[in-house]
């Protein structure tokens, strides 16, 4: 029995004396397995990257005003302002302010409706523009002062 214990202690000491040099020798003697595992991991990563869809996609377009189509300069300016703000917020990774802060789009829509229904029908085009701008400013100032927000969808 005592002989078995001595033999086991010698085996334990041999295992405990495993050094860094022994580890390096073990790795170098089996280098082909490491090279094969690196190659397999690289191929799996390349396959995964090729097969998954990208998280972010970007696109760009240029809007050129065509006078033959009869687009109004006011609506073009409005779409540039709103679209530019939305593009800035989207590129910054935020929800666009038009969707989350103080009645912004509603005020702009009300101003556009006032201009559309009054221009050259009730008052001149310039007067309708001033009336629409005044209405938008009043709605926005009141919304900012009283902290009005549109209801959120839950």
Residue 122 has a pLDDT of 83
Whether 96 contacts 82, CB under 8 Å:
no
Question: How buried is residue 139: exposed, middle or buried, by Cβ count under 10 Å (0-12/13-18/19+)?
Answer: buried
Percentage helix, strand, coil, to 5, in the chain? Answer: 70, 0, 30
For 102-137, write each residue's pLDDT tens digit: 677 788 889 999 998 888 888 888 899 999 999 999
Domain boundaries, the chain: 2-51, 71-146
pTM of the predicted protein model: 0.40
Decide if pLDDT at 89 tops 80.
no
For 26-71, write each residue's pLDDT tens digit: 888 888 888 899 999 999 999 988 888 767 767 777 666 555 554 5
Residue 19 DSSP code: -
């Amino acid at each position: 029995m005592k002989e078995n214990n001595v033999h086991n202690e010698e085996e334990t000491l041999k295992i405990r004396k495993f050094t860094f040099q022994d580890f390096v020798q073990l790795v170098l003697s089996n280098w082909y397995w490491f090279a094969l595992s690196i190659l397999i991991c690289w191929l799996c990563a390349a396959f995964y990257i090729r097969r998954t869809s990208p998280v972010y996609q970007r696109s760009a377009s240029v809007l050129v005003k065509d006078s033959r189509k009869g687009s109004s300069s006011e609506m073009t300016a409005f779409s540039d302002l709103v679209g530019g703000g939305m593009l800035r917020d989207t590129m910054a990774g935020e929800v666009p302010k038009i969707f989350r802060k103080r009645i912004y789009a509603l005020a702009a829509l009300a101003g556009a409706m006032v201009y559309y229904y009054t221009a050259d029908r009730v008052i001149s085009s310039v007067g309708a523009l001033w009336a629409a701008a005044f209405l938008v400013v009043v709605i926005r100032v009141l919304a900012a002062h009283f902290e009005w927000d549109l209801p959120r969808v839950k």
